[in-house]
Structure 1
Amino acid sequence: MAGTLPFDPVRALHDMAAEFGAELETDVPMAALTTLRLGGPAHAMLTCRSTDALAGVVRALDAAGIPALILGGGSNLLIADEGVDAVVVRAANETIRLDSDQVYAEAGAVWDEVVARSVDAGLGGLECLSGIPGSAGATPVQNVGAYGVEVGSLLRRVQLLDRASGEVSWVAPDALGLGYRTSVLKHSDAAVVLAVEFEVRPDGLSAPLRYRELAAELGAEESDRRPADKVREVVLALRAGKGMVLDSGDHDTWSAGSFFTNPVVAADRLPAVLAAITARVGADARVPQFPGAGGTKLSAGWLIERAGFSKGYPGEDASARLSTKHTLALTNRGHASTRDMLALARDVRDGVQAAFGVRLEPEPVTVGCAV
């Protein structure tokens, strides 16, 4: 039965909690721990408030053959209604340290707090990543990015627990296979992120602006630099306008952020895709295009809208629907199930595929279910 492990681990888990200083809870509702607010119960959860506890608990679970799900901020998870057939290990190690040119953050640190503290300290570089929900440890896994900046361009090194050997080591960014919203850490249980270090600028200026909308709001040109605190302020306002800053009272923010990644179309397929866009939308249609690894990156939000899915689709009575502010966010209107969310995701994915021959890939990690 989902949500119930095929053994009784309670005694072993109590021993682990005592040994490593972790906190044990049973029958934990996962919906309360994800930004989509979806998912059934976990049989057990161990909360680890130090890096040593996190590494020790994962090692012990692996040695005992007990399956584990590592949980950070829950901002990129879609969990089955039936729950989790694993012990949830919650990374709650939250130490943040600032230096003149670097930021150190443990895996469980709230990401936007990391950004805010760096900006408040007069350090530049992370400001474009303001308002992104989740934990610091998830950022290299997903190679999180926004407004023209990706975590991969700022990483100095990442501390990993190798689950095969049990060893802890710091690795350089080039060992992570970083790509567009991905890395070798994503969809893999081989390693657990324990901490991250970022390189920042001591002059308090932003990274060079690379996103037209942001530059325009700042009255700047692309490649200009502006005070990091001002850039953070504008980024937060832009995200809030799209329902991308968490607000418990706004169901448009009950989401996983952008549900689909921007698709990368290979050069040999691009003419056919552009022809399909012209046939459906008209000769004047101009889909946003950007260079991408292995081809041309197209705007998923633009394709979704031109395939016939408007903001708020499929309507006010739906329990899961597109955000009323941004078509790339799939939202829980307060009473959705994971099944509802999956049905909406498949509807949108299949509609774009039928219209343009482009298959959208989901960004959230699914647990016990699949889009």
Structure 2
Amino acid sequence: MTATGTETGTAGAAVLLADLTTTRVGGPAARLVEASTEQEIIAAVRAADTAGERLLVLSGGSNLLIGDEGFDGTVVHITSTGFTVNDDNATCGGVMVKVQAGQDWDELVEYTVLHAFSGLEALAGIPGSTGATPVQNVGAYGSDVSQTIATVRTYDRETGSTKSFTNFELQFGYRDSLLKRATVDGSPRYVVLTVEFQLGLGRMSRPVKYAELARELGIEVGARTYANDVRRAVLALRAGKGMVLDAPDPDTWSTGSFFTNPIVPADVADTLPEDAPRYPSGTDGEVKLSAAWLIEHAGFGKGFGLSDDAGNAVAGGRASLSTKHTLALTNRGGASATDLLAVARLVRDGVESTFGIRLEAEPLLVNCSL
């Protein structure tokens, strides 16, 4: 295979994908190509497709779980960084920020807040790259990227050409998009090259819609405050839940939230206890539930998997729910993907047995299944 970019693995000297993921698990890659420019990304993808090889595209490695057998094709590791700000029309429409796919997400959020661009402040501290955010419609604390994304430029592997999508064309949903639905086992039809955001001008945040965040800030739900205060509050909340990467802390060796909040018919939600949180889903007749509440009330507390009442540990205690937050599935040191999935299955099946609601995994599962 010939491609621009730096090839760091061959069939005879595989690279462990655990080194590129926030869970620190994942078997070997047959070939790894580092692509730091748009041209290198396209060339590497084209070369793999021409050779008929399986393709996995990753960047920050924060929202996927790779199986212990690894990946027997080409892995394109996107490392393109940087962004440009176009404020020609700043007086009326805010600013446009065009970001390379491999750009660290939290660094971008920090820059926008410090330069008085509002819209991303509630998404601080989320690990991973900018190019991954539209795929999953990344969100937290009442905000998601669909609220600010203007366009996404991609390489379409089926046509062999670049294609740009508007916000409307991306068909965003809860933790979902057209880009995600066109991805199979980590192999996307559309490879994200750049993401362009339209952000407001000023130091005030967007309205704070999430009750927990509003309480932390000491404001009413729906009120606005300084965007930098929102960013600091979000970082504090996330750190308290082990949701900000911290190398010495195994509670952060995770994909973040492992299960999505289920969206169910209203009559199903009515079968739950009155104190079960319920949120608008955006669709008539359906209700969004709290996966964390379901997990905890099905008997799976923080740290589940480390040991039970009899002193027995799931997967030898190598994997567990976070000791800080029940939505995070963590590697306690030396865990395999098999270990993590063993804990996840117990939790999923326990919630279904208790409430009749089946939780779905949020991260992409590559060469493994729940």
Kept in 2: contact 1:264–1:293 (CA 8 A): no
TM-score, normalized by length of structure 1?
0.90
Cα distance in 2 for residues equivalent to 1:359 and 1:331: 20
Equivalent residue number for residue 344 of structure 1: 343
Unaligned runs of 5+ in 2: 88-94, 308-312
Residue 289, structure 1, aligned to residue 278, structure 2 = yes
Equivalent residue number for residue 256 of structure 1: 255
For 1:167, give the aligned amino acid: S
Residue 25, structure 1, aligned to residue 9, structure 2 = yes
Counting only pairs closer than 5 Å after superposition, residues 211-222 of structure 1 correspond to structure 2 as: 211-222=210-221
Residue 313, structure 1, aligned to residue 304, structure 2 = yes
For 1:217, give the aligned amino acid: E
Change over 3 Å in CA distance of 1:314–1:64 after alignment to 2:
closer
Displacement, 1:243? 0.3
Equivalent residue number for residue 362 of structure 2: 363
Displacement, 1:24? 3.6
Displacement, 1:112? 0.5
Residue 38, structure 1, aligned to residue 22, structure 2 = no
Q: How many residues align?
A: 345
Residue 129, structure 1, aligned to residue 116, structure 2 = no
Given candidates 41, 54, 59, the residue that maps to 1:72 is 59
Give CA-to-partner distance per residue, 1:260-286, whole Å, 9 cap, x none: 000001134333x32xxx3xxxxxx41
Residue 151, structure 1, aligned to residue 145, structure 2 = yes
For 1:144, give the aligned amino acid: V
For 1:269, give the aligned amino acid: V
Displacement, 1:96? 1.6
Paired residue secondary structure (2:23) = coil
Counting only pairs closer than 5 Å after superposition, residues 105-254 of structure 1 correspond to structure 2 as: 105-187=99-181, 188=183, 189-254=188-253
Cα distance in 1 for residues equivalent to 2:266 and 2:301: 29
Cα distance in 1 for residues equivalent to 2:277 and 2:136: 23
Displacement, 1:128? 0.4
Cα distance in 2 for residues equivalent to 1:95 and 1:59: 23
Paired residue secondary structure (2:266) = coil
Kept in 2: contact 1:47–1:90 (CA 8 A): yes
Kept in 1: contact 2:5–2:44 (CA 8 A): no
Kept in 1: contact 2:204–2:227 (CA 8 A): yes
Equivalent residue number for residue 92 of structure 2: none
Kept in 2: contact 1:125–1:205 (CA 8 A): no
TM-score, normalized by length of structure 2?
0.91
Kept in 2: contact 1:320–1:344 (CA 8 A): yes
Paired residue secondary structure (2:320) = strand
Percent identity between matched residues is 50
For 1:111, give the aligned amino acid: W
Cα distance in 2 for residues equivalent to 1:102 and 1:233: 24
Give CA-to-partner distance per residue, 1:297-342, whole Å, 9 cap, x none: 0000000000000101122551110101000101000111111111
Equivalent residue number for residue 90 of structure 2: none
Cα distance in 2 for residues equivalent to 1:270 and 1:168: 43
Unaligned runs of 5+ in 1: 1-11, 279-284
Cα distance in 2 for residues equivalent to 1:345 and 1:293: 28
CA RMSD of aligned residues (A): 1.3
Cα distance in 2 for residues equivalent to 1:192 and 1:126: 23
Kept in 1: contact 2:7–2:31 (CA 8 A): no
Paired residue secondary structure (1:193) = strand
Paired residue secondary structure (2:44) = helix
For 2:302, give the aligned amino acid: K
Kept in 2: contact 1:98–1:118 (CA 8 A): no
Equivalent residue number for residue 281 of structure 1: none
Cα distance in 2 for residues equivalent to 1:260 and 1:21: 35
Cα distance in 1 for residues equivalent to 2:78 and 2:19: 15
Displacement, 1:224? 1.4
Cα distance in 1 for residues equivalent to 2:306 and 2:71: 31
Equivalent residue number for residue 97 of structure 1: 84
Give CA-to-partner distance per residue, 1:199-240, whole Å, 9 cap, x none: 111112211100111111111111211111111111100100
Displacement, 1:41? 0.7
Displacement, 1:293? 4.2
Displacement, 1:105? 0.9
Displacement, 1:63? 2.3
Residue 304, structure 1, aligned to residue 298, structure 2 = no
Displacement, 1:102? 2.0
Cα distance in 2 for residues equivalent to 1:57 and 1:315: 42
